[in-house]
Amino acid sequence: MGTHGSDLRVRLSHAFGTTPLRLTGAAVGISTGGASVRPGTVRTLTMETAYRADGDHRAEVNVDAFVQESSSWYFLEGVDVAAKPAGGKRDAVVAFGDSLTDGAASTPGADHRYPDPLSHRLSAEGRQRPVLNAGIRGNRVLSDSACFGEKATTRFRHDVLDQTPVGTVIVLEGTDDILMGETAANACTSTNRRVTTAELIEGHHALIRAAHARGITVIGATLPPGKGLESGTPAETRAALNQWIRTSGAYETAVDFDRVLADPLNPEQLLPAYAGKDGLHPNDAGYRAMADAVNLDAL
């Protein structure tokens, strides 16, 4: 996402499967609404909202067969666009995080996650750079999960370091550790043990060290407020982690999503104009505000 080029390659993976996966193919076409496709535009491939059907319907242009719909991109490992880096530099930007990066509560299919308007800002200012969205809903810094993927400190290598040609990563991680606590790798439910600020900081340090070893600039993002983080230990942990991100100097610089999105009259809640329906994730305007808060000169 977030770049232009002459060729497109979609990479699929079955890394976490336990039985053989048989793919008969995939197709992409220009939508005329939902899963209905404009005749003559069908090409092999698929992206964005997934419409699934039993049997082989790759050349199908009618909507009737596609009775299953999902916002998850099953088996998708990455999308590569053939484009020449500006000046031969490592100029790609990776937005690394959880559902706040993945764009939960934004308008489906509209590309209103914060990395999308960030990419548009760069293009509008003549700084065309690839922007990669490496957000996974429910992802945590410290705990693997059968539902929410490998922990950030594990997947950082694949999702950031092994991408080409990355120059900057924006890290927005920790909200789900605070909300859900520690979870066994083969489970989806949380335990009673809450993670500590010190543990989260050490996890962030691990990400910073890994990026610096590859010469990648790392920008730390503060955690926004929201439902479940308003009081008690969750609120205290979020505040302490945010203060460390802002002031420790461990990150080259910080982008303060907390202060951008918080309601000045109630700083432990999202500003109503930026709040999605669940009270935890921003709406489209909130994601736009996040993108606008990023200092482009720091990338």
Model confidence pLDDT, tens digit, residues 89-126: 679 999 999 999 999 999 998 999 999 999 999 999 99
What's the confidence (pLDDT) of residue 41?
Answer: 80
What's the confidence (pLDDT) of residue 147?
Answer: 86
| Residue linked to tokens 């489970």 | 187
Pairwise pLDDT comparison (19 vs 261), residue with the higher score: 261
Residue 1: which pLDDT band, with cuts at 50, 70 and 90? very low
Mean pLDDT computed over 271-299:
97
Mean pLDDT computed over 52-64:
78
Using CA atoms, how far apart are residues 257 and 274, in angstroms rounded to an integer?
A: 12
Check pLDDT > 70 for residue 211. Answer: yes
Query: What are the residue boundaries of the structural domains of the chain, listed by start?
Result: 84-298
| Mean pLDDT (the chain, rounded) | 87
Percent of the chain with pLDDT over 90: 61
Instruction: Please classify residue 259 by burial: count the beta carbons closer than 10 Å to its beta carbon, then call 0-12 exposed, 13-18 middle and 19+ buried.
Output: middle
Using CA atoms, how far apart are residues 42 and 90, in angstroms rounded to an integer?
A: 34
DSSP conformation letters of 32-86: EETTEE-TT--EE---SSEEE-SS--TT--SSTT--EEESS-TTEEEEEE--PPG
What's the confidence (pLDDT) of residue 73?
Answer: 61
Answer yes or no: CATH 3.10.20.30 is held by domain 84-298.
no
